[in-house]
Chains A and B, each alone.
Chain A
């Protein structure tokens, strides 16, 4: 089973991507001293939502995908919601001008367009794959596992989490997988077992939050 998951990891690592957000402070290592450099534009850009109730809607829900949509909702409830004050509301078909996270289902690499609150009201802000026909066909034999693990990872981005392996203090072999943005706030120490870490020995942490994922989401959004 682990072999299959590693294989899936190797396949998926190359495809997960999302656009970057600017990083305000940069950790620099110089000799034995680490320090933070601050470029002095005065606005700190934060992707953290200012509310714990976040709307979710589906752009193109098909009847035959109802069980898969339920899996996504369930996976999010069992992880991010259970560990924090976050509550995801709605989950119906998107209406014109609706706020919240807009999910489009498409047979392509799952991703978010941007991190966190910048998804609010953004059409096709998150893309999930329910068929795996062309992207990662290996998931066809374990759709529910892939669907849940991907949902947890993408909803991590949707609440502002960046890829853990991008961090300055990640091992070089993991940083080689750096994708898109690097977070501007390292809430905990580096977490190999984060659902946001491509280097996690279990692909997407098997869709289960690590203790440090839980600490982080509670720092950002409060304990349940």
Chain B
């Protein structure tokens, strides 16, 4: 009787384990499919004919424009009068694919990498960076890409060797087929660690070879091409700011939760680079942190800069008189990454932003950069125009599938003096 119970328990454990693994795979795929592009390059020959000049995969980085791939999927542009690089994104199996036109921004021929740029901002998901330097043989991995002319497809396998390839690539056993090149390679937790490259099919004597494929570790791109082009990969919501050219500094104390915008001397500040939100029509003078979530350690390991001085710096002589109209941009960067139970957990968060002293809001617009397992934000301005509340829910995964929920974006506002 006891042995029967033990056998039943073992069977249940095996079935449950398989179910969890399947669910985890589904989750990784559903999260990263919208970040994966199926690339098709069309070349116009000098004889007037068009042909497919290259196919492969790519994935979005977090600036809404850049995508990384292998350079070998792109043809020698000199062969053609012109080439057109298009990428298809499938966000949902029930919706039509989104087609994006891209251009080649930069190439690293040595590492066989290419950085593409979309002709317009893409409101898409993007991959989250993992630590490829810590990957060891035996690690599980997930490959997403577009083999042959199929849409995004997932395969899995293990890292076999990280040392012996002279080019620093990993040998993996996950199936990688023609068209997979340039696709994201992820950990079992769904974090980006590499780029699918290709593999060995046969010896020079024609002996077939199996399960010997190559992946370019993502740190080769981060240390080379992406650094040269000042493009970063999203490490988590907290790194979004720095990736867009924004550096964050926080005040010692948390701003109050509700009304009354803290003075610039006490409030956290964002020093924003010119490229960060250059596309928005507002002149960004200073960026505040949301009143409701300030202070404390920042998720995702963002580096805290020196605290701002308690007193406002003296105004330089000749400062122009204050304007009656100002524009303010507030960064929203919220992450939920706790996994308290065997069920997904959700919570509603509300961030309240206050107008400058003596000012009231007249306009606002939320520019969403990324959202994962979160509801669209509800934005409400108070009747007196003194504050704006941004509410949304975030969901993080259960213990066995530790996905995270986040919302990042910028609340753009205009204010007038009261």
Contact = CB atoms under 8 A, between A and B. Distances in A.
B259 to A, nearest CB: 57
Given A35-B204, A122-B46, A42 B56 contact: yes
Given A118-B45, A121-B46, A42 B76 contact: no
B177 interface: yes
Given A22-B75, A118-B45, A41 B179 contact: yes
Given A33-B203, A122-B46, A39 B197 contact: yes
Contacts of A118: 45-46, 79-80
Contacts of B200: 35-38
B52 interface: yes
B214 interface: yes
Interface in B42-59: 45-48, 52-56
User: Sorted from nearest, which 7 A-B pairs have the closest CB atoms?
Assistant: A34-B204, A42-B178, A41-B73, A121-B47, A122-B46, A39-B198, A121-B46
9 contacts: A33-B203, A37-B199, A37-B214, A38-B199, A39-B72, A40-B181, A43-B55, A114-B78, A121-B46
Interface string A141-179: 000000000000000000000000000000000000000
A162 to B, nearest CB: 13
A63 to B, nearest CB: 28
Interface residues of B, number: 40
Contact of B70 (A34, A41, A42): A41
B199 A19 contact: no
B79 A41 contact: no
A120 interface: yes
Interface residues of A, number: 29
Contacts of A123: 46
Contacts of B178: 38, 40-42
A11 interface: no
**Which of B72, B181, B214 neighbours the largest number of chain A CB atoms within 10 Å of its CB?**
B72
Interface of A: 19-22, 27, 33-43, 45, 97, 99, 113-114, 117-123, 125
B176 interface: yes
Given A35-B200, A38-B198, A113 B70 contact: no
A45 B46 contact: no
B179 A40 contact: yes
A20 to B, nearest CB: 6
A125 B78 CA distance: 11
A122 B54 CA distance: 21
A39 B196 CA distance: 9
B367 interface: no
Given A41-B56, A42-B56, A36 B72 contact: no
A93 to B, nearest CB: 18
Contacts of A37: 198-200, 214
B179 A42 contact: yes
Interface string B198-210: 1111111100010
Q: Which of B70, B196, B204 has the most CB of A within 10 A?
A: B204
A99 B47 contact: yes
A43 B53 contact: yes
B337 interface: no
A33 B196 CA distance: 24
Nearest to B70: A39
B148 interface: yes
B127 to A, nearest CB: 19
B221 to A, nearest CB: 16
Given A35-B200, A40-B199, A120-B45, 15 more contacts: A21-B76, A21-B79, A22-B76, A34-B203, A35-B203, A35-B204, A36-B204, A37-B198, A39-B72, A40-B56, A40-B176, A41-B55, A41-B179, A42-B149, A43-B54
B261 to A, nearest CB: 53
Nearest to A119: B46
B338 interface: no
B112 interface: yes
Most buried by A among B46, B112, B203: B46
A38 B209 CA distance: 12
B180 interface: yes
Contacts of B201: 36, 38
Nearest to A44: B178
A204 B297 CA distance: 71
A35 B65 CA distance: 38
Contacts of B202: 35-36
A192 B196 CA distance: 37
A125 B70 CA distance: 29
A201 B222 CA distance: 47
Given A27-B204, A37-B214, A38-B200, A43 B52 contact: yes
Nearest to B177: A40
Contact of B196 (A40, A99, A125): A40
Nearest to B73: A41
Given A35-B203, A40-B176, A120 B46 contact: yes
Q: Taking each of B54, B75, B79, B149, which has the highest tally of chain A beta carbons within 10 Å of its own beta carbon?
A: B79
B49 to A, nearest CB: 8
Interface in B148-207: 148-149, 176-182, 196-205
